[in-house]
A = this chain, B = another copy of it.
Amino acid sequence: MSHNHKKCIKTSLEFAHKVSQDKAMRLTPQRLQVLKILLDDHKALGAYEILERLRDMNLASQTTPQPPTVYRALDFLLEMGLVHKVESQNSYYACMIERSADGVHIAQAFICESCGAVEEKTAEASVKKLYEKAATFGFEVNQVIMECRGFCANCQKQNEFFYE
């Protein structure tokens, strides 16, 4: 997945500010810091990895960030739809799809088990089928979790020799 990641970050941050304003929610410096850590690249990080980076970034400060700090920031960012959780590995990544006004949406994550990269895609088709299935037995859907684990195109190339 090669792209202009600087621009990618810029767009995401602009959207984050916008959606926070719209919802009258406060994207405080701490929350922003966590978001930036996750935007750093397209990988999912565990809460304690985020904590480490947060500490690295705040060596000058008098206080050392603690776990609740990270989890609170994540709660906020998840709520705003700016970050998603990879349930199958208890890790978190910054949303990377173009969104309309509202930040909240169903994410479909493709997680590479070799390099750890996460590709997020919209999932209208699969989700539609899933809703149809739910309807067949009267299930009312609140939340959909779709995760796909495997190998990204890059890692397949790099490991071609395995298949010879």
Contact = CB atoms under 8 A, between A and B. Distances in A.
Interface stretch (A4-12, A27-35, A50-58, A138-146): A138-146
A82 B13 CA distance: 44
A115 interface: no
A98 interface: no
B125 A132 contact: yes
Contacts of A108: 130, 133
B139 A143 contact: no
Contacts of A119: 137, 139
Contacts of A149: 141-145
Nearest to A143: B149
A144 B148 CA distance: 5
For the complex of A and B, list the 4 residue pairs with the smallest distance between their C-beta atoms, beginning with the closest: A138-B153, A125-B129, A87-B87, A126-B129
Interface of A: 87-88, 108, 110, 112-113, 119, 121, 123, 125-130, 132-134, 137-153, 156
